[in-house]
Structure 1
Amino acid sequence: MSRPRIIYVYDALCGWCYGFSPVIRQLYASYGDQADFDVLSGGMMTGTRVRPVSESMGYIQQAYKTVEDHTGVRFGDAYLNGLLAKGTYLSDSEKPGMAMTLFKAISPDQAVLFASTLQHALYYDGVDLNVDAHYGPLVEPFGIDPDEFVAHVSDAAIKEQTWAEFNLVSQYGINGFPSVIVDTGDKLYQVARGYLPYDALEANVKRALNSPE
């Protein structure tokens, strides 16, 4: 009998996903021996939605406080007074999505942790995720050769797979992040649509895993 699969649908540029990072990491720690975990990148900022962060600055300056208040995470000074304040950062989900695609090809079991790493890099450390070279230091702690990773993160095949993933998320009908799906093998259960605290998420996961097919 195959193990159930817990699918975390997120976007590296999603502030609420950043707030959700401790929750999904806790679920991964608690259920990693019972279920396989997968991460899907949602492509939140693609196509016509790609724009300089300055165009969303007013919204972000208010919204980040709401995320902090509800989730307990903190947005770093390097982001708030660096990347955001400069206003030139291009909000584009493609490159961090490609980084996740490549990472999953190398170390799929650690994808949940890498998703958290990407978001901490952006929202706490103020790292520009559009720059290939910036991914080397982010993957090295996972035992991945940083130079090899950077050399291949923009490969055409990686880009193609990433866009296929964006389209898959769209076909699932998911247009809000974070979302969590439990795949029991016979049925899909959406157990989170937007931010949930851990206790609520775990209760939903338990129901899905124990539900009669």
Structure 2
Amino acid sequence: MKLVYVFDAYCGWSHGFSGTLREVAARHPDLPVEAVSGGLFTGARRVPIREFGYVQGANARISLLTGAEFGEGYQRLIADGSFVMDSEAAARGVAALRQAAPEQAAELAAALQRAFYVDGHSLSEPDTYRKVAEEAGLDADAVVAAFQAPAAHAAAEADFRRTAELGVDAYPTLLALGGDHPVVLASGHATVDEVDQHLSALRARDAS
């Protein structure tokens, strides 16, 4: 069995789930975690953030429910409303980091969201991936090169297709994959204990 974490690096609820994901991964080191980008802001939804009037209200609710931080750097970045969240660029970055260290999927997903939601770094900029890679002890030059390579676009599209094939249409979604069908362990907000309860029930079912 492995865990598949379908998220979008520009999704506030995914940012709020980061702590849960890290703790689940820490409690279950026997379960590999795969991170897949969902593609929330692509096509017609790739517009200035001012067009999403609900953002600040949603962020306040996310912070209240999960304790997630929305830092001063992020507030400055979005202050004039012109910033564009481009999930295709973010998915290329996820793919580049995943290629460098697939075993660190949970930590890198959280670090990438922290870079945006706390520090206010655009996920369309190569320097953001350099920073995240350096802090994770990875080869930063290789990560930036992978982010900028033509193959990264194909990797992003492959993630979006995989999301659809898994039947996921809400982010974040944490799946257990091992049997014939993926099993949803969490969608949106969930605590570590709630995820554990689902995992225990699934293991008990598989053992019976």
The interval holding the TM-score normalised by the smaller chain is: over 0.9
Shift of 1:186: 3.9
Q: What residue in structure 2 maps to residue 78 of structure 1? A: 73
Supply the distance in 1 between the matched residues of 2:98 and 2:141 (Cα, whole angstroms).
17
List aligned pairs for 1:42-191, cutoff 5 A. Answer: 42-56=38-52, 58-80=53-75, 82-191=76-185
How many equivalent residue pairs? 207
| Alpha carbons 1:53, 1:89 under 8 Å: kept | yes
Q: What residue in structure 2 maps to residue 19 of structure 1? A: 16
- Tell me the percent identity: 30
| Alpha carbons 2:100, 2:139 under 8 Å: kept | no
Supply the distance in 1 between the matched residues of 2:20 and 2:34 (Cα, whole angstroms).
15
Supply the distance in 2 between the matched residues of 1:188 and 1:125 (Cα, whole angstroms).
34
| Alpha carbons 2:96, 2:144 under 8 Å: kept | no
| Alpha carbons 1:21, 1:116 under 8 Å: kept | yes
| Alpha carbons 1:184, 1:209 under 8 Å: kept | no
Report the AA paired with residue 66 of structure 2. T
Q: How high is the TM-score relative to the length of structure 2?
A: 0.94
Shift of 1:10: 0.6
Q: Does 1:194 align with 2:194?
A: no
Per the alignment, in what secondary structure is the counterpart of residue 200 of structure 1?
helix
Q: What residue in structure 1 maps to residue 7 of structure 2? A: 10
Shift of 1:185: 3.8
| Alpha carbons 1:182, 1:209 under 8 Å: kept | no
Supply the distance in 2 between the matched residues of 1:188 and 1:79 (Cα, whole angstroms).
34
* Alignment match of 1:37 (pick from 8, 33, 36): 33
Shift of 1:134: 2.1
| Alpha carbons 2:36, 2:163 under 8 Å: kept | yes
Shift of 1:184: 2.1
Shift of 1:167: 1.3
| Alpha carbons 1:6, 1:35 under 8 Å: kept | yes
Report the AA paired with residue 162 of structure 1. A
Report the AA paired with residue 72 of structure 2. D
Q: Does 1:206 align with 2:200?
A: yes
Q: How high is the TM-score relative to the length of structure 1?
A: 0.92
| Alpha carbons 1:128, 1:134 under 8 Å: kept | yes
Per the alignment, in what secondary structure is the counterpart of residue 175 of structure 2?
strand
* Unmatched 5+ stretches in structure 1: none
CA distance 1:106–1:185, shift in 2 (3 Å): farther
| Alpha carbons 2:122, 2:128 under 8 Å: kept | yes
* Unmatched 5+ stretches in structure 2: none
Supply the distance in 1 between the matched residues of 2:33 and 2:141 (Cα, whole angstroms).
27
Supply the distance in 2 between the matched residues of 1:11 and 1:209 (Cα, whole angstroms).
28
